[in-house]
Structure 1
């Protein structure tokens, strides 16, 4: 049975959404194709009609998550306002809270960054570079010094904060996040 191009694209999007959600919350090694297809409410046959294997799905799913993420959508907004930058930082740090329904592609990649699979590592690098470049563009528009360096330092701080926050308990977690957010925003405001 042959499906229309529209149906095929809808199927691919369902698989990508399911994969992005699972990979972003658990990482590459802790997710199986069975889990992904169950989440997408589809069969394994549908998977192989779109992807050659788990690594190729991982790459596509993280690109999908990055493209659909809050920071990608924010490009349409006024990026020069302080409240906008604060919203970006706050939104990113919200992923460190348990049961967050919008996990960050970079949050779990702390463990995946050193993965042996070259596709996984390249995908991580692309996601990281994309986030740094988007933030650098925002900072450059604000006239800050060394926007690329400041953006990279900020992303590293955000990823580190989320990773550590996930491993500590309440009320220390919330206090830690608030202190980290204040430090990051102060550094960005100073532009150093």
Structure 2
């Protein structure tokens, strides 16, 4: 007896949801198709009815993880027109630093994605480009390099702050990046 399209869609949703959670908690390499399918209460063989390959799954799950991280960030920051200062302050904050599995998936997974295949890198690249566009819009600058720099500095500072074992030093990384990014904006 076959499954309805609705059943298939629900199964795919369970797979994607589980994979996105695994990626956010353990990185790209934490996803095992066999374990993933068991956790979604599906058979290993059924995987290929939903995805052509593990790589395709990872690209879709990464997309999901980044959308979830973006939604959580925007909910904490407030929606509406991008405000550069609010974005910098919120992104480079202690709560965001501590939100490793629910915060920005770009900062959490960039190292993994840099070693991944092209479809997975393209998925994250598109999100980074949208982040740059939002910051560029918020900066209202004639220099598009400033938005590229600001996004790179925010992501980098968040990653470094998460690595620092000493909390005071981690706070100092966030504070220094925040000061410099806000001062750059004031000079504009």
Please give the range of the TM-score, normalised by the shorter of the 2 chains: 0.7 to 0.9
* Paired residues of 2:84 and 2:135 also in contact (CA < 8 A): no
Between the aligned partners of 2:89 and 2:41, the Cα distance in structure 1 is 34
Structure 1 residues without counterparts, runs of 5 or longer: none
Between the aligned partners of 1:72 and 1:145, the Cα distance in structure 2 is 30
Between the aligned partners of 1:64 and 1:82, the Cα distance in structure 2 is 25
Post-superposition Cα deviations, 1:62-92, rounded to whole Å, max 9, x if no partner, equal: 222333333698499222556643465247x
The answer for the alignment partner of 2:120 in structure 1 is: 120
Report how many aligned residue pairs link the two structures. 185
Deviation at 1:18, TM superposition (A): 1.9
The answer for the alignment partner of 1:134 in structure 2 is: 134
1:79 to 64, 81, 85: 81
* Paired residues of 1:20 and 1:64 also in contact (CA < 8 A): yes
Structure 2 residues without counterparts, runs of 5 or longer: none
Deviation at 1:55, TM superposition (A): 0.7
Question: Closer, same or farther in 2 for the Cα pair 1:160/1:53, shift >3 Å?
Answer: same
1:183 to 174, 180, 183: 180
* Paired residues of 1:21 and 1:103 also in contact (CA < 8 A): no
* Length-normalised TM-score, structure 1: 0.74
* Length-normalised TM-score, structure 2: 0.75
The answer for the alignment partner of 1:162 in structure 2 is: 158
The answer for the alignment partner of 2:97 in structure 1 is: 96
Between the aligned partners of 2:91 and 2:57, the Cα distance in structure 1 is 28
Structure with the larger helix share: 2
The answer for the alignment partner of 2:170 in structure 1 is: 173
* Paired residues of 2:33 and 2:54 also in contact (CA < 8 A): yes
The answer for the alignment partner of 1:6 in structure 2 is: 6
Between the aligned partners of 1:130 and 1:122, the Cα distance in structure 2 is 12
Between the aligned partners of 1:138 and 1:132, the Cα distance in structure 2 is 10
Q: How does 1:14-29 map to 2 (within 5 A)?
A: 14-29=14-29
Between the aligned partners of 2:127 and 2:2, the Cα distance in structure 1 is 35
The answer for the alignment partner of 1:34 in structure 2 is: 34
